[in-house]
Structure 1
Amino acid sequence: MGKIVSIGETLVEVMADSSGCGFLEPMSFTGPFPSGAPPIYISQAARMGAATAYISTVGDDDFGKVNLDRLRSDGVDISAIAIDPILPTGHAFVRYRPDGNRDFCYNITYSASGQTKMTPEAANVIAASTHLHVVGNSMFTDEIREMTAQAAAQIKARGGTVSFDPNLRKEMLAQPGLREAIEKVLSFTDLFLPSGDELFLGVETTDVNEAIAQHLASGMKAVVHKRGAEGATYYDGTLVLNQPPFPAQEVDPTGAGDCFGGAFTALWTSGESAAECLRLAAAAGALAVMKRGPMSGAENAETVRAFADKHTRRVQGAKHV
């Protein structure tokens, strides 16, 4: 098994204890929770048994320590996480609206994470890695975009692979250069992990089957379309697998997609069958929503497998095409 590396933002999440719209009045909160899409992903991948490393920057503060302690305890190589002596660790205050959507008040771009650069430690981690995982919402600076492209080129030149989870908020697409950066990432992606309409990034169609065909024709090895409460579907050009969702009492949906991706990639890069990758990833995603806090529901491989076996939600509708 090789080493999985990811690059991006690191932050803490502080969650309002009451539902409502916005933050215009005093209210109680719970947190800080370690967070950020790539840290959630890499935490889950490590818990599934993969060798992992993470490249980022945190502040010299307690919020940074919360994240470093969690990643270290999960077995992630944190040697390439720099500590900025001036800027604070990123943060996100989150409040759920009555309809289930969320309001955010956050600082990432102008936090320590915005200073993430190619350090000697980062270069060493990339040189030792065989798989790169890219998260779209982490590509918020030119330096991170450049590092991502450089890491992908190096890893693929050695016969390694790249996975990509867009995880994009709509307003992010207005950032100068981001659409171009996403198109570049798509060009070197082996494993595509879109949610919902993210499937149509980089293609000239709104038809699901045609979008899948175009992605696979571009050189992707597999596409895993995450469809929330409808489950997930795997495509590789010869095989289609449909995985129904596992039953879960939802407490906090934040990070479910990242836990799904971390579990799937850890298993996929180790040579596990597509069906088992999909089944256990779906189980990891279900477990993730049952605890409050973005990483709180990331479980180890034994717990994920036991949960999946107990509920026996096997892959359905497998067919060769």
Structure 2
Amino acid sequence: MKVVCYGEVLIDFLNVKGNLFEANPGGAPANVAAAVAKFGGKSYLISQVGNDIFGKMIIDSLSACGVDISNVKMTDEYFTTLAFVKLDSRGERSFSFSRKYGADVYLKVEDIDINIVKSADIFHFGSLSMTYEQNKRTTLELLKIARQSGSTISYDPNYRSSLWESQKKALDTMIEPVENGFVDILKMSEEEVLLYEKDVNDFYNRIKDKVKIFLVTLGEKGSMVFFKGKSYFVDTIKVDVVDTTGCGDCFVGMVLHEISKSLPIENLSEDEIVNIVKKANIAGALCATKKGAIPAIPEYNQVLERL
């Protein structure tokens, strides 16, 4: 089964000590693609990097994970997008971005092999591919193609305040694909859900007729899954947290890898979806025990050992 991920790919500069930053490949859709591949699935990434040392670093890293990067374009016009990540004492992150002229923003539909989109069993994207009008147009066009082709569509809206002109613009844009019927699997953090409603259940009632699976990550507490009109709390394992960068993407990667084995979604039982989320919780937790996003993705058998 093909899991095709579309959106930003960048370099995360993680603040490791004082004024010292360590460069690691990242970007939510790229992290998901890397996780799917590392867990044994077949993943593709659609994105764009600059023809620079960071772009080449990203290409090499994704290739080493087994991601098909034939649709990651390299351009001389723009520089690879950069993100600077600072951790607090709990391993939680704050971000600064160099993205206004980042290569991923300027990828056009005509630069993409549309057959990859049409052949996707699962098409995954995030909200950062809608922060500017030019990449929003590309995103919406690809969503239309994926929907018409019968792909299962997965969406992980990440709220990064510094990338939007206002919170209202961000929230209106982030919910748009859901309200327009483009999303089957929706994953959000509890913090992102609470930007919309005071309670997770209230938000689910708002979108329950639009999505088939709704996942809410709760950090060290675990996660919730809403499926076939019911909700389930799924706990997780305790780990020593080093860096939470990419944990949510690792969670999504495991969910998509496992669901891809049992499509269509309607074939899944409630027990199966809860077991998938248990694996995803463990994958995300293990990812937090190392620095970086892609370098911290655990092996599939490591997840099974902790199940």
Letter of the structure 1 residue corresponding to residue 250 of structure 2:
C
Indicate if the aligned counterparts of 1:4 and 1:131 stay in contact, CA closer than 8 A: yes
1:184 to 169, 176, 182: 176
Work out which of the two has the higher radius of gyration on C-alpha atoms and give 1 or 2: 1
Residue 289 of structure 2: SS of its match in structure 1? Answer: coil
| 2:23 maps to 1:32 | yes
Distance in 1 (alpha carbons) for counterparts of 2:89 and 2:284: 23
TM-score, normalization: structure 1? 0.84
Residue 78 of structure 1: SS of its match in structure 2? Answer: strand
Q: Which residue of 2 aligns with 1:93?
A: 84
Q: Which residue of 1 aligns with 2:204?
A: 212
Distance in 2 (alpha carbons) for counterparts of 1:62 and 1:40: 19
| 2:279 maps to 1:287 | no
Letter of the structure 2 residue corresponding to residue 195 of structure 1:
S
Distance in 1 (alpha carbons) for counterparts of 2:52 and 2:163: 27
Q: Deviations over 1:208-262 (max 9, x none)?
A: 2232122112x21111111112110111134432211211111111110111011
Residue 263 of structure 1: SS of its match in structure 2? Answer: helix
Letter of the structure 1 residue corresponding to residue 11 of structure 2:
V
Indicate if the aligned counterparts of 1:44 and 1:300 stay in contact, CA closer than 8 A: no
Consecutive unaligned residues in structure 2, runs of 5 or more: 263-267
CA deviation after TM superposition for structure 1 residue 103, in Å: 4.3
**Closer, same or farther: CA 263–54 of 1 in aligned 2, 3 Å:** same
Q: Which residue of 2 aligns with 1:17?
A: 16
Q: Which residue of 1 aligns with 2:125?
A: 134
1:152 to 140, 143, 146: 143
1:74 to 65, 69, 86: 65
CA deviation after TM superposition for structure 1 residue 180, in Å: 4.3
Consecutive unaligned residues in structure 1, runs of 5 or more: 20-26, 309-321
Distance in 2 (alpha carbons) for counterparts of 1:97 and 1:115: 32
Number of aligned residue pairs = 296
**Closer, same or farther: CA 16–132 of 1 in aligned 2, 3 Å:** same
Indicate if the aligned counterparts of 2:59 and 2:69 stay in contact, CA closer than 8 A: yes
Indicate if the aligned counterparts of 2:189 and 2:217 stay in contact, CA closer than 8 A: yes
Distance in 2 (alpha carbons) for counterparts of 1:99 and 1:288: 15
Alignment of 1:255-274 (within 5 A): 255-271=246-262, 273-274=272-273
Q: Deviations over 1:148-206 (max 9, x none)?
A: 222222222232211111111234453596544323311321111010132256x6x42
Letter of the structure 2 residue corresponding to residue 299 of structure 1:
P
Identity of counterpart residues, as a percentage? 26
**Closer, same or farther: CA 6–143 of 1 in aligned 2, 3 Å:** farther
Q: Which residue of 2 aligns with 1:226?
A: 217
Distance in 1 (alpha carbons) for counterparts of 2:112 and 2:128: 23
1:242 to 230, 233, 236: 233
CA RMSD of aligned residues (A): 2.2
TM-score, normalization: structure 2? 0.88
CA deviation after TM superposition for structure 1 residue 68, in Å: 0.7
CA deviation after TM superposition for structure 1 residue 99, in Å: 6.6
Indicate if the aligned counterparts of 2:129 and 2:139 stay in contact, CA closer than 8 A: no
Distance in 1 (alpha carbons) for counterparts of 2:95 and 2:193: 25
CA deviation after TM superposition for structure 1 residue 76, in Å: 1.2
Distance in 2 (alpha carbons) for counterparts of 1:149 and 1:114: 14
Indicate if the aligned counterparts of 2:125 and 2:156 stay in contact, CA closer than 8 A: yes
